[in-house]
Every structure is written in C-alpha cells, then in structure tokens.
Structure 1
Amino acid sequence: MCECVWVGHGSLCLVGAEGEWGFLGERIADYVAIHFSLEEFLAQAPRDDGSFVGPASAILVTFEWAMVQPSLLFDRAHQFLSEGGFLAISIARDVNEELRMRKMFYLRSLAEHHGFRVCDPTCLGFPRRIVAFRKSGASRWRLVPLNVTHTEGCLSLFHKVFGTEMSRELWAWKYGDGRGRAMIACRGKEVVAHYGATTRRISFLGQETQALQICDVMVDPKERGVMTRRGVFFQVASAFLESYFGYENDHLLAYGFPNERAMRVAEKLQLYAEVGRVVEIRWPALPYRPHVATVLRRLWRVREEERSLGDLWSKMKRDLAAGILVMRDSNYLHYRYFEHPCFDYVVLVVANRLGGRLRGLIVLRRERDECKLVDLVAPLREIPLLIDHARRQVTRWGLPVLTAWVSATYAGFFRSPGVYKTGTEIPIPTNVWTEGPRFEELQDRWWFMMGDTDFL
C-alpha cells in the first residue's frame, strides 16, 4: 500500500474507474467526497457565483488517451481544486512507448497553461506510472477548447476585433458538423482570445491526409499589450498547437493566411516558419467572342457532372503529386462553393463543343470593380484555356479586371498575355512549435488560391 501525503487533508474527488486506484488501499474510500464518471466531470458547470462543487484537496482521474481533450480536463480540475491541491492521472497503457512519451510530453506542457506544475508522483505516494500535478495558482486566463456555448462570445469578439459582424450561419459553416477546432481564452465569463481552425482533407505529396486551416485568430484589443510568451496570443496559439498537433495527431499540418505583422509576431515567438508565398496576379478583360473548339457554361449542381469533375480532380492531383493542396473533389466543391452562407460564387465549366468532354472548372466571384478567379480544377496544361474563358466572361459582366491569388511556386502556370503581379504577397506559414513534417518537405510545396481561404 502507498502512503499518500495528501490523504486526510481534505476531500477527495474521484473521476472514472475506482478500480484503477486499488494500489492506494481500501481506506481511500473513506476520503472520497464525490465520485464522477469522466463525462460527468467534464460536463460540470459553475454555480451562479462561479464556483464548482468542492473544493477538493485532490482529484484522481482515470481515462484512455483518446477519451478527453486535456485542456478541458485541466480547466475543470483547476476550478475544483483548492490552492495547492493535487491532480493525479492514471492513463490506460494502450499505445506504444514512443507515442506514450510524446503524449506525456504535451500533457505536461498543456498543464502549465492551466496553472499546474508537474510533481514527482513518488513524493505523493504514487507509483511512477501516475502523472501528478499541483495547482500552483490562479491563471490570468482560462483556456478551454471551443464548444457551442462559446459562440456568442466569439462572435462578439470578432466584431470587437475586426469591426464587422460574422453571421451565426457563417460560424456554423466553418466550425459546425465536427469540422472546427479552437482554443479560447476567457477572463471571467468574457471571451478575450480565439485561435481557431477548420478541418480540410489534403493531398500531401500524393497521399491523402488531413490538415487544419487556421482562421479567426483574434485577441481583444485590451489584451494585446504583451506580445511575448506571457501574452494571451501565445497562450492560446501554443495550447492549440500542443493540443491538436502534439497530444492529438489526427491532422498532419496547419496552414493559414496571416498578414505580414501577424506572421512576424508568430515567427518571433517560434510558433511559425514561412514555407512560401502567395502572390496576387491580374489580367485585363478580353473582348468577348466565342471559342471555336470549347464552350463555357454554368454548373448549378455538382452532381450534374460528378463523374467528370472527379476525373478533372484526379488529373490535377496527379500533376501536383509533388505538392500539397486541399482536396478538390465533388464533396469539397459542393461544401465550399454551393453551401457557403454569405458569398455568391459562379461555378463554370469549360467543355469541348464536340463530345462535351470537360476541360476544366473555374469559380468566379463578381465584385463592384473586378472579378476574382477564386479557384479552378483542371490538369495544369489547361490553365491558359480556363483563364482565357474567364477573361472573356469578365467582359460580358462589364468588369475591367480578373484577379487571382496563387502560390508563387506555381505562378508560371498562370502566365498569359497581359498578366501582371500587383505586389501583394501573403506569407504561407507552417507550425514549428510541435512535431511534424520537416521544414524542407514543405518549402514551396503548397498550391493555394483564393478559395483556400475562409474569407474570400
């Protein structure tokens, strides 16, 4: 039997299976003030005065690696524990040792974000397989994973930071149906920082996997004074990366479209490194006249040409087998361009006059003084043909210019008479805070266009 130094000094909260703690002896039951299942514990909400059941002098938790998001566990435990209280975790040994050590490393890192310090379990009377932490004081901010109860607070923060409203429909489009991941920081009940992402399937060097597109990174203006590792931006960003690319590893990569200032701050904090650039290019509209061999027509539903679109995507993916790009299959096209709650996209296909074989797909978005070439799906050799059709369509709409974003690495495929770069460039970041693909594997590999953003 182990002699636990905290037994008898306060109440004990037991979370999960009691049997995992049998090594403490039968007398442990004398000190259990409350026993939760893991789900019950994580679902606990504060009372009207902000307090939780407790306080407890110690919390014993049992869970399997995949059962819980650590930030949520640490947040609940911090609320329940008295000052100086202990959190002890028994984790099922259902993974290989290398993966177990990786997860343990990030578990300890995440604990520090939540006001805990790592303890030597043997000093508390536990065997070394137990992970032990001590509550070291109140955190300046509460960091918690995003859930639906935070929606209103996040929308309010968005308006405060960007000076414009985001609709609930657009928020759900980004973060709903299991796509969204985010870490938020709260001061009291107010959301003061948000670091979010949405899941995207990607082709990585010819292999299908998952990535997270970083979006809606925002910090309340009142909290921006410290852009160091003590500041709230670093706290939410590093906790997000440690949670979803460290402790969890369902996604291979993170990417986004930060402005230059945000990129420099993240580089200084050693969160990001630059692996490429997106450039803006423009073409003047061309006089409209029909093509002899091909026609341009609008696509109203993906299922009208589902098989042909799949063929176009397969050829594009094959051409970019040495690159990295978001999967542009029919499911993605339907979600991205036909279900968007705010923007009206015009999806067009270029087809042979004879036989009707599709040569490519383009996505355009009309604005007051220009037309955006948002996306395309085609073998790379067909890009000049698609651009030519797009420039003629722009004339039919009475607009003077077609504009596009494209990764600098692949800008050569978009050369055609009259094209010019505007000087606008957007850095392409990658996460270097946690483990992942080597920097060299990612340098100048990404294929991006406007449609790869969440805001165009």
Structure 2
Amino acid sequence: MTYDAGAQMLEIAGTVFTLRDVGPSDCTAVLGLHRRVFGSTVDAAWFDWKYRHGGGEAVGLWQGNELVAHCGGTPRTVLHHGRPARDLQIGDVMVAPEWRGVLRRRGPFYHVSERLYSSRLGPGKDFFAAFGFPNERHLRLAVKMGLSWDSGPVEALSWSGTGALPRPGWSWRAETLAVDHPEFDRRVTHAWSAMQQEAGRYSMGVRDAAYLRWRFAMRPDQAYRFVQLRRPWQRLPCGVVVLGPTVAAPNYLQWLDWVGPLALLPMACTLARLEAARSGSAGLTTWASPAVALRLADTGVTQRSVAAVLGVPKASDMTEEQVQHLDWWLMAGDTDFL
C-alpha cells in the first residue's frame, strides 16, 4: 500500500469526514471495522497476509479517529482472452452500521469506492481493471451510483450425498500434495501450463505456484489442502485440486479451485466429491461462473443458486461492451474471503 494522493475533507449529512488511503498503521482500525461489519475474527496476521504480503490497496473514510467506511482490493494477474493484465480484486467493502442508512448518491460507500477506483484503475494507472463479488443488493447500489457494471451471476453449485459416487477407475491416482514438498512448485507449474493453453477464450486469473502459495498456503486464518490428480505411469500430475474447510451448514466440503486442463474439470469434481465422502462431509460445494458451470453441467449437481454477482468498476480500461463479452472463469478460490 504505497499509493498516497493526500487526504480530502468531506461533509456528509452535516458531518465532517476525512477521506484518505489506508496504510499499515491503520491495521487496528481496519480489523475493528471488519469485525463489526462481517462478524469476523480476523487479526493482524490476516491483515499482513492481505495488505502487506498481498500488496493490498485500500481507501478509508474517517470520522475523527474512527474508520467508518473502507474499500480495498488485492492485485491479481488476469489473462483476458490470453492477454495478461494487472487487475485489482475488490474486497473488504465495509460501512459502519450507523452509516449504512446514508444511501444517498454521495454517501460513505460511494466516496471510498469512487476514490479507490478513480485513483487506481484505467489508462495510465496501476491497474487495468477490477472485479469483485458483491451480493445483488450491493451491486444494484453500485450500478445506480454509476460506479460499476453488472457482469453477471456467479452460482453456488452443490453435490449432496455420498452414496453411489462415480469412481475414477484404476488409471487415476489422487494424492495429497504438501506445500513443503520439494517439487510443489514444479508440479503446480506443470498443471498451470496445461491449463494456460486453454485460457485464451476466458478472463482467467493466473494460477501459478506463487499465487497458490500466497492465496492458500500463506493465509493464516484458514486451512486448505492440495490434492494432485495423477496417472500412475506419470510422475507429474495432470492437475491440482484445492479443497478448503468444511462449511458448517450443511456440512459440505468446499472445493476452492482446480489447476489443470479444462477438459478434466469433471474428473476433478469426481475427485473432490470422493474427498468429501472420505472426510465425512455430507457433500461438496463450490462457486462457478457460467463458463465453469457449463463444464460441470453433467456432473450430477443437486443444488444451484446465485451466490454473488460479478461487479466490474466503470473506471476499468474497458468499455461496457467489452466487459459484457468477457467470459470469466471463476471458482470459489477466486474470492478473497472463502
């Protein structure tokens, strides 16, 4: 977080605020607001993971010494139809409960979001584009305020039950891949290279070893597992599945990501469902953009619903028409909070 354009004094509903960038010294204030808004238990290690090691950017609105609104994001390299770009993944959009009712066009939510977007996104700025996963209500508000475009739904897909699961057969091996394995980077690189060959038609975040280490292995408040899918006659895996903690209700194992050939996504789903059964979970769940959901259409999905809506800020270096033609490849691990 090195960007600094100076503080700005604002008056909202008769109250004077300070709008400025958030820095490392604001850790305690950010954690406090995060806990109030989301009911989370994040701590300084989480802040360091995201905003120090992850290079996070953020803008805050202050009433005196109290942080009352916040909009942040973390850098993410995204291949937009094969062309790499430095994007910003929006997250930690927070407004203190007592100021949420100020939904006027120039309220706290608007000011923190607009400043982050206008100072970071677009031609000549640090980031080409941004994307985030708000709920439908919050995106409608952002669209109404002229901040973002609606780039379509992201679904929650679930596979319930552990009986009569499909079997991968003798020609597949599913093995735990420890992050401290001496060949972890090489094996992930091999899987990502195969996936990248098919990335040209999508907007797909890079899933190389460095990203997997930061996103999953370094995160202090969650525990994830890597499972490699391998042919018995091959040393290197065809792909790597990332599994997360079990969702408390309804006791489903989270499938965060797949790194490997897109044609093997259904096989990765079979592997993940078997892992869910072995763990004693009642089923498996993940998030899927339309492109991912299409590849999983014949895997026996038992439940689907809209989990979030993909928002793309208008300050991004794209036209609305270009945004609407992006075919996003997104799973649960593409969020910053699951």
Q: Does TM, normalized by the shorter one, top 0.5?
A: yes
d(CA) in 2 for partners of 1:318 and 1:254? 24
| 1:117-160 deviation digits (Å, cap 9, x = unpaired) | xxxxxxxxxxxxxxxxxxxxx98210111112211111111122
CA distance in 2: counterparts of 1:68 and 1:377, whole angstroms: 33
Indicate which of 378, 386, 401 corresponds to 2:283: 401
- Counterpart of 2:323? 442
SS, match of residue 425 in structure 1: strand
Q: How does 1:254-273 map to 2 (within 5 A)?
A: 254-273=130-149
Q: What's the RMSD between the two structures over aligned residues?
A: 2.3
- Gap change, CA 1:278 and 1:290, over 3 Å in 2: closer
CA drift of 1:441 comes to: 2.2
State the secondary structure of the residue aligned to 2:104.
coil
**Matched residue SS, 1:203:** strand
Task: Establish whether residue 69 from structure 1 lines up as the match of residue 4 from structure 2.
Answer: yes
Native 8 Å contact 1:279 1:421 kept in 2: no
2:60–2:67 CA contact under 8 A, matched in 1: yes
Which structure has the larger Rg over C-alpha atoms?
Answer: 1
Equivalences for residues 145-224 of structure 1 within 5 A = 145-177=21-53, 179-224=55-100
What is the TM-score normalised by the length of structure 2? 0.90
Tell me the secondary structure at the aligned position of residue 412 of structure 1: helix
CA distance in 1, matches of 2:223, 2:3: 39
**Aligned residue in 2 for 1:348:** 227
2:313 to 431, 441, 451: 431
Q: Distance in 2 between matches of 1:426 and 1:290?
A: 31
Task: List gaps (5 residues or longer) in structure 2.
Answer: none
Q: Distance in 2 between matches of 1:204 and 1:178?
A: 21
Q: 1: distance between equivalents of 2:230 and 2:261?
A: 13
Supply the distance in 2 between the matched residues of 1:232 and 1:182 (Cα, whole angstroms). 14
Deviations along 1:192-216, one digit per CA (max 9) or x if unpaired, are 1111111111112212221111111
**Counterpart amino acid of residue 126 in structure 2:** D
Change (3 A) 1:357 1:68: closer
Summarize the alignment of residues 297-316 of structure 1 with structure 2, pairs less than 5 Å apart: 297-301=175-179, 303-316=182-195
Counterparts of 1:124-139 in structure 2, within 5 Å, are none
Question: Is the alpha carbon distance of 1:155 and 1:366 closer, same or farther for their aligned partners in structure 2, counting shifts above 3 Å?
Answer: closer
CA shift in 2, pair 1:246/1:377, >3 Å: closer
How far off is 1:421 after superposition? 3.7
Q: Which residue of 2 aligns with 1:388?
A: 270
1:295 counterpart = 2:176: no
Aligned match of 1:329: 208
> 1:339–1:68: structure 2 CA closer, same or farther, 3 Å change rule?
closer
Give the Cα separation in 1 of the matches to 2:50 and 2:169.
38
Once the two structures are TM-superposed, the CA of residue 287 in structure 1 deviates from its matched residue by 4.8
Q: Identify if the C-alpha distance between structure 1 residues 115 and 400 changes in structure 2 by more than 3 Å, giving closer, same or farther.
A: closer
Q: 1:318 to 1:286 in 2, by over 3 A?
A: farther
Q: Deviations over 1:203-246 (max 9, x none)?
A: 12212221111111111122223212221111111111111115
For residues 281-325 of structure 1, the C-alpha deviation after alignment (integer angstroms, 9 at most, x for no partner) is 112335576731011000102652423321221221221212112
Provide the residue aligned with 1:94 in structure 2: none
1:33-88 deviation line (CA, Å, top 9, x unaligned): xxxxxxxxxxxxxxxxxxxxxxxxxxxxxxxxxx9732x1xx2xxxxxxxxxxxxx
Counterpart residue type for residue 202 of structure 2: G
Q: Distance in 1 between matches of 2:34 and 2:234?
A: 50
Look up the equivalent residue of 1:160 and give its one-letter code: R
Match of 1:413 among 285, 295, 314: 295
Q: Percent identity?
A: 30
Whole-angstrom CA distance in 2 between matches of 1:247 and 1:312: 33
1:246-266 residue CA offsets vs partner (Å, 9 max, x unmatched) = 586121111111011111111
Q: Is the 8 A contact 1:157 1:220 kept in 2?
A: yes
**1:38 maps to what in 2?**
none
Q: Which moved more, 1:178-187 or 1:370-379?
A: 178-187
1:178–1:403: structure 2 CA closer, same or farther, 3 Å change rule?
closer
- Mapping of residues 366-385 of structure 1, within 5 Å: 366-367=245-246, 368=248, 369-385=251-267
Which residues of structure 1 form unaligned runs of 5+? 1-66, 76-112, 117-137
Q: Which protein is richer in helix relative to its size?
A: 1
Alpha-carbon separation, structure 1, partners of 2:316 and 2:195: 29
Query: In the TM superposition, what are the counterparts of 1:264-283 in structure 2 within 5 Å?
Result: 264-283=140-159
Change (3 A) 1:435 1:405: closer
Query: Is the Cα–Cα contact under 8 Å of residues 78 and 203 in structure 2 kept in the other structure?
Result: yes
Q: Distance in 2 between matches of 1:200 and 1:252?
A: 10
